[in-house]
Amino acid sequence: MARSPELKLDRRSLMSSLLLGSKALAVGKVASTTEEGSLIRSGRQQSIPAEVPMFAGNAARTGKMPGPGPVSTNGIEELWRFQAADSIDSSPAIANGRIFVGSRDGALYALESETGTVKWTFQTEGDVLSSPAVGDGVVYFGSLDGHVYALSANDGRRRWMFSAGSWVDSSPVIDDDTLYVGSCDNNLYALGLSDGFERWRYTTLDEVHAPPSVLGDSVYIGGKDGVLYALDKAIGTEKWQFSTGGPIYSAAAVADDVVFVTSLDGNLYALRAANGEQIWSLATKDFIVSSPAVQNGVVFIGSYDGYVYAMNAENGAELWRFDTHGPVYSSPTVSNGIAYIGSRGWSMFAVDTSTGTEIWHFSTPAEIRSSPAVTGGAVYFGGMDGTFYALGASEPVLGAGGTARVREATQLRRAPSPSAPVRSDILQDAIVTVDAGPDAASGAPWWLVTASDSGDRGWIEELKLEPLTSPSVAAAAQ
């Protein structure tokens, strides 16, 4: 199987070894329904999520997610996890209750979104670093075996296969009836969505690892040659090009007639979509592999210097920066005022887009290069240990220091017993602070609570309390 070497992005090796290695080509295997890896379920099931059809959420690669993400009132927990046989660089696509994601074990997995159960796998002969795209019941992705695949989203059976001249780690984009995808043979390909036939190709001066972007009548692609190309999406002729100071591995994000692209020269560039003229640039302190996200007039990027940056999209003024405590390879995604991004510091972060303050983080046992998909109250992403995660909101639990709602009108008693004297009445839906407990000396557990409105304090049966906030969360909010 064609494999890429373990990626170590330091200053000495990055320029020459990013996603490089021997380019052995082999034909991918047919679909399989055999479960690969192991499933570890925990937590609760969540609702069927809205679609995230491709990397960065859409063809313009703006990073906008349908959401919602998990409400973190009571913290974040794993809903489930799936273990692949090797690391996961690929970012998930989601459609019709299924999650599609690739792995360095050479497989594309289709997982049930509510439980993580493997519905089917498709085995190729090379690492699957490419993030899949899904549309009209078909999943498209590339492999380091040199092929682009189209599979039935339902059962994983192959619809067609296209042979490029080298590795395909670029993440394809769907636009109308065309699939656009890059290859390490220096080409950007336009393929027929239904049959995989080549419509045109555009040849750059070096390998193409970056995901293409499409908006209007243009397709945008960055190359290892350090150039961003704007092409006519119908026939592949060049409209303009813009040269950066280093290879481009990120997708360009296109919004409001501006193209935002990063480079290994450490800069984010804002260019006029019409002619490629530079509007502004912002320099970080290290390489940038992360693709930008754009929403509500703000651009978000991650840098290998460990920071996530937020800039005014109009003039490039820095609004804030957030320290992830590790190089950032993952690309940010945004939903409902929250930016989500993984770090090689072994954590997934949720950051307030207005202030840059951390809302929550989830620690993993390995670095994160996969970019998160946010939908249906959950965050989905992969880790470099081969674990794929579904994160959601933690259920509140009763405990001293937490809060609760009274389920029905009852009495507060002077001791934890139904026969103890009544201290006061308490109404249905009253909010209480939990002070101590549980005490089960009388058989059923009882909790000592204080009514928020009256200040009355007494014991109440557990079955009459609905937890609202868990103890640690309530304490942190004070």
Note the pLDDT tens digit of each residue in 302-336: 999 999 999 999 999 999 999 999 999 999 999 99
The answer on 176 and 197 residing in a single domain is yes
- CATH label of the domain that carries residue 408: 2.30.30.40
Sequence-separated (6 or more) residues with CB below 8 Å from residue 270: 258, 259, 260, 278, 279, 280, 281, 299, 313, 316
Q: What is the pLDDT of residue 6?
A: 38
The answer on 374 and 419 residing in a single domain is no
The whole-chain average pLDDT of the chain stands at 90
In whole angstroms, what is the distance from residue 10 CA to residue 81 CA?
Answer: 30
Query: Which of 26, 56, 18 is CA-nearest to residue 207?
Result: 18
Q: Do 153 and 137 meet the contact criterion of CB atoms below 8 Å apart?
A: yes
The answer on 421 and 375 residing in a single domain is no
Distances (CA, A) of 250 to 143, 209, 293, 344: 18, 8, 11, 17
Phi, psi of 377 (to 5 degrees): 80, 15
Q: Is the pLDDT of residue 403 over 90?
A: yes
Is position 9 within any domain? no
Q: Do 178 and 192 meet the contact criterion of CB atoms below 8 Å apart?
A: yes
Q: Is the pLDDT of residue 14 over 60?
A: no
Least confident segment among 128-142, 282-296, 392-406:
392-406
Is position 137 within any domain? yes
Is position 270 within any domain? yes
Query: Which of 296, 295, 220, 204 is CA-nearest to residue 262?
Result: 220
Q: Residue range 168-186: average pLDDT? A: 98
pTM summary value: 0.85
Among 393, 423, 451, the domain boundary falls at 393
Q: What is the pLDDT of residue 263?
A: 98
pLDDT tens per residue, range 434-473: 999 998 888 889 999 999 999 999 999 999 999 888 886 4
Q: What is the pLDDT of residue 472?
A: 65
The answer, yes or no, to whether the previous bond of 438 is cis (omega within 30 of 0) is: yes
The dihedral over CA atoms of 455, 459, 464, 469, expressed in degrees to the nearest 10, equals: 60
Least confident segment among 171-175, 208-212, 459-463:
459-463
Q: Is the pLDDT of residue 119 over 70?
A: yes
Q: Residue range 398-406: average pLDDT? A: 91
Q: What is the pLDDT of residue 17?
A: 40
The answer on 256 and 206 residing in a single domain is yes
In the chain, what percentage of residues exceed pLDDT 70? 89
How many domains, in total, are found in the chain? 2
Domain with 27, as residue range(s), is: 14-393
Q: Residue range 183-191: average pLDDT? A: 98
Among 339, 363, 393, the domain boundary falls at 393
Q: Is the pLDDT of residue 220 over 90?
A: yes
Q: What is the pLDDT of residue 394?
A: 84
Is position 357 within any domain? yes
Distances (CA, A) of 239 to 212, 274, 381, 404, 428: 15, 9, 35, 62, 67
Q: Is the pLDDT of residue 32 over 90?
A: no
The answer on 159 and 38 residing in a single domain is yes
In the chain, what percentage of residues exceed pLDDT 90? 82
Is position 6 within any domain? no
The answer on 161 and 57 residing in a single domain is yes
Neighbours of 115 (CB within 10 A): 15
Is position 363 within any domain? yes
pLDDT tens per residue, range 256-305: 999 999 999 999 999 999 999 999 999 999 999 999 999 999 999 999 99
pLDDT tens per residue, range 37-53: 345 544 454 567 899 99
Among 334, 367, 393, the domain boundary falls at 393
Least confident segment among 65-69, 73-77, 153-157:
73-77
Q: Tell me the three-class secondary structure of 17-44, residue by residue.
A: HCCCCCCCCCCCCCEECCCCCEEEECCC
- CATH label of the domain that carries residue 182: 2.130.10.10
The answer on 453 and 379 residing in a single domain is no
The answer on 322 and 375 residing in a single domain is yes
The answer on 286 and 435 residing in a single domain is no
Q: What is the pLDDT of residue 10?
A: 43
Is position 117 within any domain? yes
pLDDT tens per residue, range 74-106: 789 999 999 999 999 999 999 999 999 999 999
The answer on 454 and 366 residing in a single domain is no
Is position 3 within any domain? no
DSSP 360-424: EEEE-SS---SPPEEETTEEEEE-TTSEEEEEEEPPP---TT-EEEESS-EEEESSSSTTSPEEE
The answer on 177 and 51 residing in a single domain is yes
The answer on 416 and 377 residing in a single domain is no
Q: What is the pLDDT of residue 221?
A: 98
In whole angstroms, what is the distance from residue 216 CA to residue 228 CA?
Answer: 17
